[in-house]
Amino acid sequence: MATFDLTRIRAVVFDTDGVVTDTARVHAAAWKHVFDGFLRGRGAASFDIRADYLTHVDGRPRLDGVRTFLASRGISLPEGGPDDEPGAATVHGLGRAKDALFVKAIEQHGVAAFPSTVTLLHELRRRGCRTAAVSASRHCRAIVSSAGLLHLFDVLVDGNEAAELRLAGKPDPALFLEAARRLELPAAEVAIVEDALPGVTAARRGGFGLVVAVDRGGAQAAAMRQAGADVVVGDLADAGVTGRVPVRRR
């Protein structure tokens, strides 16, 4: 069980996709559609919606995901640019195709939040703990807002701000450190909740006071511990909060 001890942890930073909102599966499906279309006829193995997503794409900025996955198949492409046609045989082209599919799916089906995460957020805030949401996705704010959760976060750092500030992507801790800076707290007094290996690695490299990994599929627990997780849970229902009296409301 994960325990957030608020005598030493003053804020909790949550990754968004797969931790706060059930959107990781939507990302994975969009990646599979794009990569399988690109790989067809090239003699390379298709995109495994679980293994390849978790190993090469999950938690990384979109263009890094394109580069890392294609490298696993021994393929390199021209970088291209942000004006490339979606689906063009460039890093930007494939990235734009995936982005378009993801946005379409979210517009059609909406965004669901994990109930256990929402319960934890309410309990943390009831006890006076500050919270933040981070994501490499440029759609993070829209996703959190669509799920009706924006009011539960003091700070939000998304892919748009990461690009503006030139923050390196995970496994670099820059995104998490920026959230801690905005919370005006040292990393040692901040907990990170992540579901992707690059994010767990980033949290440990950043020197954060507690690293909680969420392994919903049950296949990454050992790797997450090796990457630096202090505790691994299957769901945030397996998390408790201690150490600070709940804030009384008049």
Alpha helices for 40-195 (secondary structure H): 51-52, 62-72, 91-109, 115-126, 140-146, 159-165, 174-183
The per-residue pLDDT for 249 is 52
* Domain coordinates in residue numbering, the chain: 2-23+112-242, 25-109
pLDDT by residue for the chain (250 residues), tens only, comes to 899 999 999 999 999 999 999 988 898 999 999 999 999 989 899 999 888 988 899 878 899 999 999 999 999 999 999 999 999 999 999 999 999 999 998 888 888 999 999 999 999 999 999 999 999 888 899 899 989 999 999 999 999 999 999 999 899 999 999 999 999 999 999 999 999 999 999 999 999 999 999 998 888 999 999 999 999 999 999 999 999 777 665 4
Q: How far is CA 100 from the centre of its chain?
A: 19
Tell how strand 210-214 and strand 11-15 pair up: unpaired
The per-residue pLDDT for 24 is 83
The per-residue pLDDT for 247 is 60
Q: How far apart are CA 135 and CA 149, in angstroms?
A: 15
What are the CB-based long-range contacts (under 8 Å, 24+) for 173-178?
173/202, 173/203, 173/205, 173/206, 173/207, 173/208, 175/134, 175/136, 175/202, 176/13, 176/134, 176/202, 176/203, 176/206, 176/208, 177/206, 178/134
Architecture of domain 2-23+112-242: 3-Layer(aba) Sandwich (3.40)
- Residue (of 132, 202, 140) closest to 170 by Cα position: 202
CB atoms within 10 A of CB 47: 24
Q: Which residue type sits at 115?
A: P
Determine whether 151 is exposed, middle or buried from the number of CB atoms within 10 Å of its CB (0-12, 13-18, 19+).
exposed
Q: Are 7 and 32 in contact (CB under 8 A)?
A: no
Q: Are 50 and 193 in contact (CB under 8 A)?
A: no
As separate numbers, helices (DSSP H) first and strands (DSSP E) second, the chain gives: 10, 8
Residues involved in catalysis: 15, 17
Q: Which residue shows structure tokens 């490499």?
A: 136
The per-residue pLDDT for 109 is 85
pLDDT 10s digits, 16-70: 999 999 988 898 999 999 999 999 989 899 999 888 988 899 878 899 999 999 9
Dihedral, 70, 97, 214, 132 alpha carbons, nearest 10? 120
Q: How far apart are CA 111 and CA 89, in angstroms?
A: 30
The per-residue pLDDT for 73 is 96
Specify the 3-state DSSP secondary structure of 150: helix
